[in-house]
Structures are given as structure tokens and as C-alpha cells.
Amino acid sequence: MERLHIKQEINITEALMERINELLSHYPADKKKSALLPVLHDVQDAHDNWLSIELMDKVAEILEIKPIEVYEVVSFYTMFNQRPIGKYMFEFCQTSPCCLRGVENLMDYTCDKLGVNVGEPTADGMFEVRGVECLGACGYAPMMQLGDFFQENLTKDKIDQLIADCRDNKVILHDK
């Protein structure tokens, strides 16, 4: 991924810090790094679903680890975003079962419908299409993840309905 330097306001609120401390309480005091994944999830959720270099540095400071230890994790997992993304991220599974059931055609269809390429947010910042590795729902292929939820047995009609529902603000992204 091309590294862009985009400024992001860091806002570690009292409520977010309380949540981080609650997560840290599940691990030995000298093993704060063990909380890295859940902390990154909550910090990303609180910062428009992306993590700037400065924000990753802040997480490293809070967990008392080296910044590179945070960068390694963020750059490895597709669930962490290193730049602003579309509000509705359509993450299509691109492994064999989904490909055999036509996910690549559905990705192309979705991109054409939204006027973007894979990995580009729409001009209004509302949508983005991404291909990801196995999401573990092979029996329901083709499928994608939208927020915290799976969208299964996809068709062009289902894609059209999802896009319409997102535009009408009818889609819940997170179960929190």
C-alpha cells in the first residue's frame, strides 16, 4: 500500500482511555502488548475507522511498546486502515470458494455501479470496495463483510439493495 501522510486529529477521550484500561486489565501488567489488537480496534473505531502514523505512535506510547511493533500489526491485517476509507467498506472474500461462485464479477459490478476501482473511496467518501482473504463463510459464497456483519449468497440484486440501504442510512455497521 502506498503510504500517504494524511493528518488526523488524535482524540483519546476519557471514555476511550477507560476502555483501553479495561482491556489492559485482562493481561499481566508487564504484558501490555497482549492488548494490542483489541486496543487498535477500539482506537480505530473512535477515529473515523483509520489509524495515522501519529495515532499508531500514541497507541505504542500507551502500551509502552515500540512504534514499529504497532506498525507491523497494522500493516499486516486488512482490518486496520492506514488512510481514510469509505464509510461503507464492501470487503469481498477473494478465496477459491467465493471466486468459483462469481465474486470477482460481483466486485467488478459493484465498482462499476459506484464508479470506482478496488481500493478507492467514492468521491463522497461513502463507499469503498476491497478484496480480502478468507472470511470463513465458504458455505455461503459469494460473500463479503460490511462492518461487523457478513453479507452472504450475494447477487447483483443484493448488491443493488445494499447500496440503496447504505445510501438511505439503513445499514448498521457495528454491533457495539
Digit-coded pLDDT (tens) for 121-138? 999 999 999 999 999 999
- Provide the terminal-to-terminal Cα distance of the chain, rounded to the nearest Å: 29
For 15, the enclosing helix (H) or strand (E) is: helix 14-24
CA proximity to 3, closest of 71, 83, 58, 73? 83
- Residue 66 CA to residue 56 CA, distance in Å, equals 10
The three-state secondary structure class of 65 is coil
Q: What is the pTM of this model?
A: 0.79
Reported as a single tens digit per residue, the pLDDT across 13-47 is: 999 999 999 999 999 999 999 999 999 999 999 99
